[in-house]
Structure 1
């Protein structure tokens, strides 16, 4: 079987590499000639643990290749995945489907024999039908089926998520297309991973519903954390107490500065807009979006309060800039709200992140970027942890205290214990704990 993956960004590159690991011949396509050339040289444009080795292994075996020519990749392909970006559209928050529809037109012009065209990009309900319409217009008489196969990859653990998924969702009304997709995912059938076959619309909505639910779960525990602070409760214990309930589960119950990344912010907003367009508003998701946006803004105020109510003329050391650990992704990261707010309040900011600083430099002007965590701490009036990289979980606290002007430690990810930090002599602030 031959696969063409249109789009060599996060989803396309990870999916293409993993399919090739299954033994499938995969061609990844991207219009960015520089990116394709780097991939041919073995340079990976994103940070994802294990991806560099996986790409190198399968490229060397001849199963994975890269090109800028969509038409060449699509000719002779059995399955063509659309894995292009669907960012929030400026002005109204809807998903921007420009790249999806453009890809569909080019695929229609290039495909030859029967082809299964799959939307891997996260797209609103009804997109598959629009892709189907475009293909019929561009390629009258050609044989094809459209399938929705949403991705459920977590940045930082995407390869494992693809190889050992909780489920695979395949949306199609065609038995022939479903059989092709079943063959493509045959290695997962062999290890008995759930494969859910649905309609196009159901598959599209499932992706948005999953991300919205997880976003609500994060936002819920963040609001519970605020209440914990007022009543003297401990949000860690509350989260454990409810998470041990099998109906709720323990994942995504970690209080912090709000969710970010490439998926949750844009997908919750797109779902809100779609629901409003269909006259069926989802109030819980609307509130989630509003509360999360406000929470990121509130985090700077917490840091300022921990510094005695003012950061004018002070230096704040920040550890962690990406929206989560094990990625270099800065999209919608809480740091993009927090650091500018501290600067606006008169603070100088020194920052370190293990992988995100190249991207952060263009997004956070005026910030001093340091070579490691301890350099960021030198002469700072306070330390703030925004992203819970493992490298920050076991800092040398004696050294930290000696480098800081004042022993102010603001932990927005709750990776240290309050009692131990007080004993070490820090004025320690965290989220939702007395």
Structure 2
């Protein structure tokens, strides 16, 4: 499939992202895909519970994480080599076909857990290339000065998908069982494909780079996503071939690029610490806290709603403002203040206070997360964004979930208060990393 390229333009000439029809088509595709994902996971959970024991259902739900974690770094290489647009379109097409096939089989028969496990493995494998490509796509759709706003719009889309996806999945199950819910998920993912096909891609800018393997300065004109011919290479075709080389060399180059970058390296460490300290308390920990305090499922739902509302406000703020000054310092302050709020959540004297604290946690965590994501987008060379996004994905989806069973076990030993405070301390270390890194602390979003 051939992408339509538009020539690079100056940032000042770019439309605001929320008024750019090209960005809005991308956002519509992303939102449809995310809503479809939420419906899919609910359908998979329901079908697995109906077909097996709770432990077997849990195994089916968890099995997709293995290929996603193992293959995501390679998925970043695929996104950078073939272009994120092609990869996202192909990934959504495969996911759509797989989910609709399972829906048809469930309508016709009851194939059992093996089919659901196979679907989960396939979904996780495709996610390994889909997620890095999604992270690399915004830089091809709009100008650098709009990437922060796009990050806010993306956050709003995620919140919308979380709110709408579960009720839609429940409606599908109520009307036609798991098969209907899978069918609905497949159709929603299918909506994203024609929208993505209509999105116009920007060519990557021509930069004077340093080859990360040889440290030789090279005037590399990066190939556009449509596969057009690159400009002449002053060091000859042999050097160009060496720069592109094999996928394995591309992977090593990407890791070296991240490791040697003065902003991205500490930023990814800060993201890792923030996620490790955040995921446990706001998932397993909150459930156990609600049980201990007698809030029940409805009370936990109110606390989660408070968190979601706060995160949505943060995403809306970045969408409207487009950028915040002193992004590095604001991110550090948000992480530190958010970590204090996480620790305080375990000591909230009432459900109302817990909801208010969760609102503050969502606002601060959403703000710091959006700023970190925007800095990652704007600081990374677009030619490396797939690989940079894959490293960030490994941090968030590979390492952070490990904190959930550890948090549950620790709460059983020491109680919710000490574990929440410990998690808050880990999260706060992310803010300390930002403050201790001069380049990251002084990092700004482009105007």
Task: Sort the TM-score into its range (normalised by shorter chain).
Answer: under 0.3
Greater RCO (Cα-Cα under 8 Å, separation 6 or more): 2
More strand by share: 1
Whose radius of gyration is greater, 1 or 2? Answer: 1
Structure with a larger share of its residues in helix: 2
TM-score, normalised via structure 2 length: 0.26
